[in-house]
């Protein structure tokens, strides 16, 4: 039996990290949803960097660079973390550099784990199937908001934990995992409505990003498993067969 | 309108602490439940210390000293954190020194706040009424388990937040507060059953402490407001009148 546990935010990473082999980094609104959209749509590599300064160095070397802070595209960069920006056909086969308020920071904090993959509601079922196939202990790391707990990452982590435990190949013992599963089940019928009071939804609503939010909260729109390899996020070769697929 | 927010554990205290005037420290299983039991039953002062070494210094000076680690009474001390120990009539009017795995540490971390009071399910309604009367911003600080999130403190914090917000004198914006309220409402009908999978309940079950757990999870058995003053927890003079009291 493998273990799966939820860590609510990067600030708690060191309390939870011992003995896990795989970290799933989750930033539903919007970094990891955007990464899944980009990798699914043919971006070859996404290099996550923590600071705007690092991102600018890449920009000066001629890279396509995405930079977001406080929900907005940082001045002077090509785009931010709207998933729709990452579906641009011009990005196919390209390398994109990315820095965001929370998500890329969480990816880099988890980089000491043996394997780091990218989770979102968008790749939920494919990711869970892949995780079950690996037979390793899994930490689900929410990116949070500036090191604090946030609801949407917890819902996604709870949904993943629930599926892994349902497979009877995983068990959980931490209270954070029990709480995340519980919140995910309660939110499952209508995540968009459940999150209406959440802090980041309100932040994005003010920025007129409702379409982005709807996209990010829709489960199973993609089947890619983006993985960090050699400092860049790339697609894992994996044939996902949905359980309900017609053959 | 005052604000009320939930901080899940001492490790997150610095992320949340700005601008609050009152901290409510919560360690339902069992430190703050025991403190409420002791203060209600006539203990004059409870001195919370963080380490067993500090506790032993007091012991050597002749104080009654309670020390708990990992759910058990530490060898050589008078008692641990079972609430029933604090109801001993021999303790009336006395000073007790106390150190516990999580609760006393959280109290000392919050000691830089203007006002620190002790919360539990046992003093829930009286505490909420007192907090509403103060007209100050309130942080509800869970003691957690070794700096991690735990369910029982979150349920208590969520129940307090819910009552304060219901009074229409308080508002909350953090996702942690929304989640705590939600979990508290879901657990309200049967907290004992809701917590059956929680990590600390399982820890205490192994130690045959079910009676303690039942006591700690019973709302409104006491009406005291224990407050930290001059390094010791003492009773606040406060006449709590239950809303449903017959006059």
Helix, strand, coil percentages, rounded to 5, for chain B: 45, 20, 35
Q: Given its phi and psi angles, is residue A183 left (phi above 0), alpha (psi -120 to 50 degrees) or beta?
A: alpha
- Work out how many CB contacts closer than 8 A connect A with B: 74
Residue reference for tokens 């011992």: A18
Provide, as residue numbers in chain B, all residues whose Cβ is less than 8 Å from the Cβ of A146.
15
What is the predicted pLDDT for the residue at A206? 81
Q: Is residue A166 part of a domain?
A: yes
Q: How far apart are CA B173 and CA B228, in angstroms?
A: 27
Beta carbons of B175 and A12 less than 8 Å apart: no
Domains: count for chain B: 1
Q: Is residue B212 part of a domain?
A: yes
Render pLDDT for B74-107 as a digit per residue (tens, 0 to 9).
Answer: 999 999 999 999 999 999 999 999 999 999 999 9
- Radius of gyration (C-alpha) of chain B in whole angstroms: 17
- Radius of gyration (C-alpha) of chain A in whole angstroms: 17
Beta pairing, strands B138-142 & B2-7: parallel
Stated as kind and residue range, the H or E segment containing A7 is strand A2-7
Residue B221: Cβ-neighbour burial (10 angstroms; 0-12, 13-18, 19+): middle
- The tokens for B19 are 């601008």
Query: Chain A within 8 Å of B182 (Cβ-Cβ)?
Result: yes
> What global pTM score does this model have?
0.94
Query: Chain B within 8 Å of A179 (Cβ-Cβ)?
Result: yes
Q: What is the pLDDT along chain A (247 residues), one digit of tens a residue?
A: 999 999 999 999 999 988 899 999 999 999 999 999 999 999 999 999 999 999 999 999 999 999 999 989 999 999 999 999 999 999 999 999 999 999 999 999 999 999 999 999 999 999 999 999 999 999 999 999 999 999 999 999 999 999 999 999 999 999 999 999 999 998 988 888 888 878 778 888 888 888 999 999 999 999 999 999 989 999 999 989 887 655 5
| Residues B60, B188 contacting (CB under 8 angstroms) | no
Provide, as residue numbers in chain B, all residues whose Cβ is less than 8 Å from the Cβ of A178.
151, 197-198
Beta carbons of B198 and A175 less than 8 Å apart: yes
Mean pLDDT in residue range B206-222? 92
Q: Is residue A236 part of a domain?
A: no
Average pLDDT, chain B: 94
Q: Is residue A234 part of a domain?
A: no
Q: How far apart are CA A155 and CA A219, in angstroms?
A: 12
* Closest C-alpha to B31, from B162, B226, B223, B194: B226
Q: Mean pLDDT lowest for which of A214-218, B220-224, B239-243?
A: B239-243
The residue of chain A nearest to residue B144, with distances taken between CA atoms, is: A175
* Closest C-alpha to A182, from B154, B202, B164: B154
Mean pLDDT in residue range B135-149? 96
What is the span of the domain harbouring residue B136?
A: 2-230
Task: Kindly provide the b/e burial profile for residues A172-204, where b requires at least 16 CB atoms within 10 angstroms of the residue's own CB.
Answer: bebbbbbbbbbbbeebeeebeebbebbbbbeeb
CB-based contacts of A52-61 (< 8 A; 24+ apart in sequence): A52/A99, A54/A99, A55/A97, A55/A98, A55/A99, A58/A97, A59/A97
Q: Is residue A181 part of a domain?
A: yes
Does residue B192 register a pLDDT over 80? yes
Residue A112 C-beta-side C-alpha neighbours within 13 Å: 7
Q: How far apart are CA B32 and CA B34, in angstroms?
A: 5
Residue reference for tokens 């020194």: B97
What is the predicted pLDDT for the residue at B202? 80
| Residues A106, A24 contacting (CB under 8 angstroms) | no
Find all residues with CB under 8 Å of A12, minimum gap 6, and list them: B11, B12, B147, B148, B149
Of the candidates A150, A174, A198, which has its C-beta nearest B148's C-beta? A174
Q: Is residue A8 part of a domain?
A: yes
Provide, as residue numbers in chain A, all residues whose Cβ is less than 8 Å from the Cβ of B178.
151, 197-198
- The tokens for B198 are 């929680």
Neighbours of B233 (CB within 10 A): 27
Distance set, CA A176 to CA A25, A154, B35 (Å)? 16, 9, 26
- What CATH code is carried by the domain that includes residue B132? 3.90.1560.10
Q: How far apart are CA A17 and CA A110, in angstroms?
A: 9
Output the CA angle A191-A201-A44, nearest 5 degrees: 85
Give the distance from residue B180's alpha carbon to the nearest chain A alpha carbon, in angstroms: 9
* Closest C-alpha to B167, from B133, B119, B142, B193: B133
């Amino acid at each position: 039996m493998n273990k799966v546990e939820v860590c609510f935010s990067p600030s708690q990473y060191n309390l939870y990290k011992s003995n896990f082999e795989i970290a799933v980094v989750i930033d539903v609104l919007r970094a990891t949803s955007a990464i899944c959209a980009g990798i699914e749509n043919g971006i070859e590599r996404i290099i996550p960097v923590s600071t705007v300064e690092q991102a600018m160095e890449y920009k000066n070397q001629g890279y396509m660079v995405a930079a977001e802070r406080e929900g907005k595209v940082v001045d002077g960069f090509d785009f931010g973390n709207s998933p729709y920006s990452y579906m641009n056909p011009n990005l196919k086969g390209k390398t994109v550099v990315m820095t965001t308020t929370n998500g890329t920071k969480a990816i880099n904090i988890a980089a000491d784990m043996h394997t780091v993959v990218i989770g979102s509601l968008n790749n939920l079922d494919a990711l869970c199937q892949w995780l079950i196939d690996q037979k390793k202990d899994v930490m689900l790391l929410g990116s949070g908001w500036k090191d604090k707990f946030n609801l949407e990452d917890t819902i996604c982590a709870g949904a993943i934990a629930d599926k892994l435990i349902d497979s009877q190949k995983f068990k959980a013992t931490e209270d954070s995992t029990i709480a995340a599963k519980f919140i995910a089940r309660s939110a499952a019928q209508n995540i968009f409505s459940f999150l209406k009071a959440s802090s980041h939804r309100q932040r994005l609503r003010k920025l007129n990003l409702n379409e982005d939010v709807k996209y990010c909260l829709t489960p199973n729109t993609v089947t890619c498993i983006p993985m960090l390899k050699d400092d860049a996020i790339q697609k894992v070769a994996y044939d996902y067969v949905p359980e309900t697929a017609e053959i």
